[in-house]
Amino acid sequence: MFSKRRPTLHPEAHERALDALALTRREGWSLTRAARMVRSDPRTVRRHVGRALQKDGNRWRPRAFDRIPRPMRVMTPEGPTLVVIRDSRTASLVAQHSNAVQHYLRTGDDSRLRKLPRKRIQLDGEQLALVVAPTRIDRLAEGAELHYELYRR
């Protein structure tokens, strides 16, 4: 798996840029406001996620989705697995799944797990199953497998 892009020299800046991009999409904020909220500069955000933005007059607007690679931990039946997600829509699903698992562990309510739009994700041509069975999540929690960060640090 070799990338045509050169590796990110500052992973923290790249992660902050992805956070700013998410704020522009989710909250409708300007690029400048979102960059300030994540303690970054708009030029740095554009350098890291520029292909996910488009110029609209004097403003930078986010595209509906992007194909910027993100290393994320995915909860599989074997436990948390580090993978590179190459699509913002898949990254959103993985984050939604992680939030649903954490909600289930805190409250015992599995309704968010049942409402997930998909139970599998496509990674490099292979299907990867997401854990949605409460019994499997309980088993992983007993083995202390579920204490993980969503994004790689």
Among candidate residues 44, 62, 80, the one where a domain is terminated: 62
User: Residue 128 in contact with residue 121, Cβ under 8 Å?
Assistant: yes
User: Residue 88 in contact with residue 19, Cβ under 8 Å?
Assistant: no
- Residue 18 in any domain: the answer is yes
pLDDT at 151 over 90: no
Same domain, 52 and 101: no
Q: For 102-116, what is each residue's pLDDT tens digit?
A: 999 999 999 999 999
Same domain, 81 and 101: yes
What total number of domains does the chain contain?
2
Same domain, 84 and 137: yes
Structure-model confidence comparison of residues 75 and 30, the more confident one: 30
Same domain, 58 and 75: no
Is pTM beyond 0.85? Reply is no
Question: Checking DSSP bridges between strand 79-85 and strand 120-123, what pairing results, if any?
Answer: unpaired
Q: What are the distances in angstroms from CA 120 to CA 60, 75, 97?
A: 33, 11, 10
pLDDT at 2 over 50: no
Q: Taking Cα atoms as reference points, which of 109, 108, 130, 106 lies closest to residue 118?
A: 130
- Residue 108 in any domain: the answer is yes
Q: For 91-102, what is each residue's pLDDT tens digit?
A: 999 999 999 999
The residue ranges of DSSP E strands in the chain, in sequence order, are 53-56, 59-62, 70-76, 79-85, 120-123, 126-129
Same domain, 41 and 20: yes
Token pair, residue 95, equals 């984050």
Angle between helices 42-49 and 11-26 (to 10 degrees): 100
- Residue 24 in any domain: the answer is yes
- Residue 131 in any domain: the answer is yes
Give the residue numbers spanning the domain of 25. Answer: 11-62
By percentage, how much of the chain surpasses pLDDT 70?
88
Task: Please state, rounded to an integer, the average pLDDT across all residues of the chain.
Answer: 88
Confidence of residue 140 (pLDDT cuts 50, 70, 90): confident
- Residue 85 in any domain: the answer is yes
